[in-house]
Amino acid sequence: MHATGTGFDGTELAVSPEIGTWLEHRSGRADDWTAADLVTAKRGRTVSVVIPARDEDETVGGIVRTIRTELVEREPLVDEILVVDSHSQDATAEVAADAGAAVVAQDDVLPALPRHRGKGDALWKGLAASHGDLVVFVDGDLYDFTAGYVTGLLGPLLTRPDVDYVKGFYHRPLAGEGRREVDGGGRVTELVARPLLNMFWPQLSGFVQPLAGEYAGRREVLEAIPFVTHYGVEIGHLIDLVEWRGLDALAQVDLGHRTHRHQTTQALGRMSAQIILTMLDRLTRHGRLSMPVPPATLLAQFQRSVTGPGSGVERDLVLTDLTLEERDPLAAVTRDTGDAGGGDVAAPTSECGGALRRTA
Ligand SMILES: O=c1ccn([C@@H]2O[C@H](COP(=O)(O)OP(=O)(O)O)[C@@H](O)[C@H]2O)c(=O)[nH]1
Ligand SMILES: O=C(O)[C@@H](COP(=O)(O)O)O[C@H]1O[C@H](CO)[C@@H](O)[C@H](O)[C@H]1O
């Protein structure tokens, strides 16, 4: 890998040797492994693919069919395809089931627990409702998904016992409404997540796509970490895992290209705030930041008024509660409740000056 950059004094800049070594031996490519190779490497282990899907009836069916055709029927690599219907208002559940997936409604999993909304909660519910020894997470809004996403993510997990968690990376065009920026995607990654990770967890700076929605892990590891209930889930995983298992237990695989349905800038503003709050929470948890005054958790955004001219600012206020909530490690929840069925949950604890409200 070629690195460029000079400091103010003209010296060549370089990443730490730890990152250089990690990039060398913990970065792979999807075509390093074939599905047939991985079927042999399974050696009795089982694989689940979990797809969180909120209003994805345009894309989720194609993703499920590709996995079923190539990685269930043609090569028995995947044992379970589970779509978590995350409060969809469209035909996501029907389309996913017609394509051959098992489908579970987010709120139907562990129904005795407090209900949450959000992607992270959908993922945690998918982990709870699935059974594979290895779990692959794939977003449901992908336009160019290939089976190589799954084989690439499984490759390190099935062939390197010292790897616990694998992130995908890819080129990410920003496409839509007649525009296409070849590497314009991953806006929150480039504007928020990467700068903050480089500042506070530089050991994670080798991840090309730290927020990638495609990743995989060993069940026992995934069940031992919390899941932030909203879009902070990915950054929360990376930080928690590098702090717990170390950088060498993590890997990344080049999956080529990824195009997906893009959210509005304001939606990404809310996502950014959730990611920032997650990082502040982790900095506090690890004793690296003291916040006598916790961050406020109300986000006020402005949008063109739909209610007609009002007083002063002719805009509508869009208010979002950013309170950081997370699911406790699944293993702890099922151990405490005695089964996956529910029962009382751990009392909410408040950390980080109230910015964190944790429920099981
Ligand atoms: O509350 C939510 C929010 C998102 N998602 C799913 O999580 C994936 C990634 O979400 P999104 O596309 O909104 O994020 P982006 O890729 O734009 O960052 C998609 O399959 C969504 O349908 C979900 O299941 N529940
Ligand atoms: O990487 C990003 O900046 C965001 C937004 O991507 P785009 O700017 O819409 O391509 O997308 C990711 O971030 C989310 C939060 O971690 C993940 O949940 C998504 O799966 C991922 O697509």
For the chain, strand residue ranges (E) read: 27-29, 47-53, 80-85, 102-105, 134-137, 165-171, 174-176, 179-181, 215-218, 227-228, 250-257, 298-304, 315-321, 324-327, 349-351, 356-359
Ligand 2 pocket test, candidate residues 211, 215, 239, most atoms within 8 A of CB: 211
Beta-strand relationship, 179-181 and 174-176: antiparallel
Task: From 66, 54, 248, 60, select the one nearest 149 (Cα to Cα).
Answer: 66
- Taking CA atoms only, the protein residue closest to ligand 1 atom 9 is 139
* Phi, psi (rounded to 5 degrees) for 113: -80, 160
Q: Does ligand 1 have an atom closer than 6 angstroms to the CB of 61?
A: no
Q: Does ligand 1 have an atom closer than 6 angstroms to the CB of 121?
A: no
Q: What is the per-residue DSSP string for 201-270?
A: -GGGTT-S-TT-S-EEEEHHHHTTS-EESSTTHHHHHHHHHHHHT-GGGEEEEEEEE--BPPPPHHHHHH
Length of the chain: 360
User: What is the structure's pLDDT at 215?
Assistant: 98
pLDDT in tens, 293-315: 999 999 999 998 877 766 677 88
Q: Which residues contact 357 (CB under 8 A, 6 or more apart)?
A: 323, 324, 325, 348, 350
Residue 54 Cα to ligand 1 middle (Å): 6
Q: In order of start, what are the domains of the chain with their CATH numbers?
A: 22-262 (3.90.550.10)
Task: List the structure tokens of 238.
Answer: 């990376």
**Any idea which of 12-16, 249-253, 269-273 has the lowest mean pLDDT?**
12-16
pLDDT in tens, 227-264: 999 999 999 999 999 999 999 999 999 999 998 888 89
- Taking CA atoms only, the protein residue closest to ligand 1 atom 3 is 119
- Taking CA atoms only, the protein residue closest to ligand 1 atom 4 is 119
- Complex ipTM: 0.97
Q: Does ligand 1 have an atom closer than 6 angstroms to the CB of 240?
A: no
Q: Does ligand 1 have an atom closer than 6 angstroms to the CB of 85?
A: no
Band (93; pLDDT cuts 50, 70, 90)? very high
pLDDT in tens, 130-163: 999 999 999 999 999 999 999 999 999 999 999 9
